[in-house]
A and B are shown apart, each in its own frame.
Chain A
């Protein structure tokens, strides 16, 4: 770990001010950044602790929910509004990491966590994300956990968050504040696909701080869930995960649907093609399968992760089937 300074921000404005120092980084719960610093993959010169900033989880007048970026994962997962109105979010958080890590990790930090690609983690390996221009050793290496959608010749890493997959499905809005002021953007717009610059992972400008995530009012979110498939039964990153919300009309057709995938891409993957295929159609296994196929038509598996295409297809169908209940 490189020598560095530390300051605790008293409020958002102070945080943004402190983050103006050379090599400064915001520090949440530290569950990812401290590990990466120890690996010398991250070498900040100054840490700005933002865990003392907004962490409230507040019901909004319009039926939505506002969650301060410093809210701990456990606090979000156990919050009654989340459990009852956005269960997919609660389930996604609970499927991630361990009890201890969920007690430490913040919402903002979760959004900013970095890939688990083992070539990214090994400074002896070529990695365009860690060292732009160094090449990608994962493409022809152990790529079982890597991307099948949206990858580039420069990078095949996946985003490791569970929480973000649920947020992507639930139309979450990210509120940020920076030297140039405050703005908000859709969660699905926050993370980038790798393209030629996998080292740039989000659209945040330097110094911009995630201050809150807003879940808009979404009736069908009460009927949402999250399923994670991994190599052991707990405490492992997703091979594939699916967050979904489904509304089936009385006539058995799909009124509305939200679907997002984890473990497939450089960002949480909102499955809009599948959603489009589903809307208005029958809530049947065959239409779920067709929707999955529609989303995965562009899947480009690598040497070891071809199974993810089939696994994603099956998991999508199973999750939608579960949400549809007897209707399917």
Chain B
């Protein structure tokens, strides 16, 4: 399949045209269930006791520890690799280089096939070629980590360097238009936007720059792997279980059934926990050594082996009519990428759906560089795209002497401005208004530098948040009811802290009419029915759709089991609902039989049904997005330029909220990562060497406790009638708009516009 067929399935589009709308999920209107309650995390006690076991913590007899030697050039060949001293070092079990590594097929790159997980399609340690600075050139296995690390330091590598594409500015002069951007066109032209801009009453035409970012999950990437004969067992930290299994099967030339991957706990993912070279190298080395391998990347190793968000330059030009409507919306730019991956950081996506305009020019280009493959990171595209777009909108509002929220009122579209589709559920202005009221937006002095306390200049800013609704294809679920009236819901889903395990238990409980404590959600294991990628904020609804399908099948089977002696006799699956621990007619209270009764009478211990999720046809018919308004108050030192975020409020419109306690955490988490994006985060890529120079949590700054104020989050809680559970994914929207909200607040405080992230103090002196 081509990349066009991945996230937004064109096949689904064909189906969508033939079928009417599916009826809204019956759970949307359901009251008194577990959904909507603030159930604490099911895995909470294990996490606070330190009992949650992560990939690098799985014990194994005969375990060996891996260390990686990284290349120190960006492109060229290994000239010599002297491993003699390392081989003599105490405890060494194996040294693997391209000379003795098993022959492996290249990984299928993510987006090249819906089942693919490879971060790039570069061969892994198959020859002397070097493709990026930091590429692993040797793996050392030893009896202890200390021995492996020491032996690695004894390997002497020399290289024949070749010219490499390391300057983004130079690479951008030879940029290309990608075949597509996540299945959508790389360029959208509606009308003649440049001409409309030139003729507009008000214009802003601005250039933005955003740096590379690191996911910086506190758990470094790790895998503990071993072979049991020809079967492969992997304990991984991953957000794409089945895709990893399919891809590894291709690399190692074995069938998927021979591979089992466990990933019950992931110590933060944010898009970064995919299939990189370290798992492949661990598996290969384990095969050579005949011993289990623990590949726990060092923090530096994470920066060298697992890519992050790429760098961009963006242009946003807005042409406004005197009445505050847009004549032209231009958002174009270039991202750094490699020829071995396909992750073009979709920064123009917000501009495709947010605002009405008379004309559009939206174009993404990529500049090929010799670097570690970049990848998806929390709200890829939207996080940095909204920084540019929403800062530009603030600048336009200022030029027009309009309140920024009033400007957005005038730009509210009736239907999706570029696709023409109806919105499934859009209440963005309601989110702005609720947020403005709660935050006290009316207290903002529109004149910059208008508020000061001592050396601190105080300002307020606002920006829109937006993220698409995605539902991934390929997911399945199994639902099992047992004779004691309990249920198990199973799918190879992922729990990286989003609350998946808890919310899916809640959803399963309501789906089956059981109390939540009677429902177990099983996940994190490829032995379970296929899960979908935990990405694109899609997992909640992707699983919910599969569970709904499996539950419908199960209910039909239960009715068959119940037979003619049941009060349910004569009712079809469509005529009953799951309630009160069994099935019943929605209106006739006496036509009910409990699961316990049905299974007991049938003499069954349990009954189970498995089904695939239906095609995501809703996304073909509707423009489906989440929205929000981010409000920020900053204090900027007039002496040092230090910025302190003193207040923050996020107001969101993301469909129905399934668990307020955890939803608040997801929103806050996104916002806090957005504070990092706005103020401090930058992966330093030395363009002379292609080397990342701050591969460390000491020098790659993420927000610390003192950087984070109390963050208020509110939501509309309006269900989307076209989404399973009425819900939208909420993992990513929180980070969108934050960069602009902070930048706009800094402008309001200081009068300074900074269009180059991060907004460090030197840019404000």
Contacts and interface: CB of A to CB of B under 8 A. Distances in A.
Interface of A: 1-3, 38, 40, 116, 118-119, 121-122, 124-125, 137, 140-142, 144, 229, 231-237, 239-240, 307, 310-311, 314-315, 317-318
Contacts of A236: 701
Given A1-B150, A307-B762, A231 B455 contact: no
25 contacts: A1-B150, A3-B150, A116-B698, A116-B699, A118-B684, A118-B693, A118-B699, A122-B693, A124-B691, A125-B693, A137-B688, A140-B688, A142-B694, A231-B680, A232-B701, A233-B642, A233-B706, A234-B706, A237-B698, A239-B761, A307-B765, A311-B641, A311-B765, A315-B639, A318-B640
B153 interface: yes
Interface in B671-729: 679-680, 684, 686, 688-689, 691, 693-696, 698-699, 701, 703-707
B149 interface: yes
Contact of A311 (B640, B694, B696, B698): B640
B90 interface: yes
Contacts of A232: 679-680, 701, 703-704, 706-707
A314 B680 contact: no
Contacts of B684: 118, 142
Contacts of B642: 229, 233
Given A116-B698, A118-B694, A125-B693, 16 more contacts: A1-B146, A118-B693, A125-B691, A142-B684, A144-B762, A231-B760, A232-B703, A233-B706, A233-B707, A234-B707, A236-B701, A240-B640, A311-B765, A314-B639, A315-B640, A318-B455
Nearest to B146: A1
Contact of B689 (A38, A121, A124): A124
A116 B705 CA distance: 23
Contacts of A137: 686, 688-689
Place the interface of chain B in its size category.
35 or more
B538 interface: no
Contacts of A315: 639-640
A231 B696 CA distance: 15
B701 A231 contact: yes
Q: Main secondary structure on chain B at its contact with chain A?
A: loop
B281 to A, nearest CB: 20
Nearest to B702: A232
B153 A2 contact: yes
Nearest to B642: A229
Nearest to B133: A124
Interface centre among A2, A118, A234, A315 (most CB of B within 10 A): A118
A305 to B, nearest CB: 8
A97 to B, nearest CB: 10
Contacts of B686: 137, 141-142
Contacts of B762: 144, 307, 311
Contacts of A125: 689, 691, 693
Contacts of B761: 229, 231, 239, 307, 311
Nearest to B640: A229
A317 B640 CA distance: 11
A106 to B, nearest CB: 19
A9 B700 CA distance: 37
Contacts of B480: none
Contacts of A317: 639
A235 B150 contact: no
Interface of B: 72, 90, 133, 146, 149-150, 153, 455, 639-642, 644, 679-680, 684, 686, 688-689, 691, 693-696, 698-699, 701, 703-707, 760-762, 765
Nearest to B638: A314
A240 B705 CA distance: 22
B707 A121 contact: no
Contacts of A234: 704-707
B79 to A, nearest CB: 15
Contacts of B153: 2, 40
A288 to B, nearest CB: 12
A231 B686 CA distance: 20
A119 B703 CA distance: 24
A119 B149 contact: no
A124 B72 contact: yes
Nearest to A314: B639
Interface centre among A119, A121, A232, A233 (most CB of B within 10 A): A232
A153 to B, nearest CB: 18
Contacts of B149: 1, 38
Given A3-B90, A40-B153, A119 B639 contact: no
Contacts of A2: 150, 153
Nearest to A97: B698
B640 A121 contact: no
Contacts of B706: 232-234
Cβ-closest 4 pairs across A and B: A307-B762, A124-B72, A233-B706, A234-B706
Contacts of B704: 232-235
Contacts of A310: 765
Nearest to B693: A118
B639 A318 contact: yes
A233 B644 contact: yes
Nearest to B698: A116
A286 B146 CA distance: 57
A231 B704 CA distance: 11
A145 to B, nearest CB: 8
A230 B369 CA distance: 32
Contacts of B146: 1
Contacts of A124: 72, 133, 689, 691
B320 to A, nearest CB: 35
Contacts of B150: 1-3
Contacts of B133: 124
A239 B761 CA distance: 10
B418 to A, nearest CB: 38
A122 B691 contact: yes
Contacts of B689: 124-125, 137
A236 B702 CA distance: 10
B698 to A, nearest CB: 7
Contacts of B698: 116, 237
Contacts of A142: 684, 686, 693-694
A261 to B, nearest CB: 14
A231 B760 CA distance: 7
